[in-house]
Amino acid sequence: MTKKQMSTPETVRSDYGLVQVTLTLAVETWLCDEHSDLVHESVIETVLDKFATIGDGELIVLHSEFTPLTLTKAVQS
C-alpha cells in the first residue's frame, strides 16, 4: 500500500505585494479613419509603455489582458 504524503501550503515571504487591478481606460489616439483598425493595438502599446515607466522598475506587470470596447452615440428621439 502506498502512503499519500500531504503537505500544508506555506506562505512564502516576498519583497513584493501582489495585487490584481481592473481598470477601464480611455486613451486618446491620433489615428486617422484610414488606420482605425489599429486603434486598439495603439492603445495597448501606450498603456504598457506607461506602466513600464511607473516607479522606475518598482512595478512589474506579471499578466495583462485587454478587452477592446467600442463607444456608440445614443440616439435621442
Q: Kindly list the domain boundaries of the chain, sorted by start residue.
A: 35-65
CB 61 within 8 A of CB 54: no
Q: What is the pLDDT of residues 11-54, one digit of tens each?
A: 777 888 888 888 898 888 888 888 888 888 999 999 888 888 87
Residue 59 pLDDT grade (very low, low, confident, very high; cuts 50, 70, 90): confident
> Per the confidence metrics, is the pTM higher than 0.75?
no
Residue 3 pLDDT grade (very low, low, confident, very high; cuts 50, 70, 90): low
DSSP class per residue in 41-68: HHHHHHHHHHHHHGGGGT----------
- The pLDDT value given to residue 1: 58
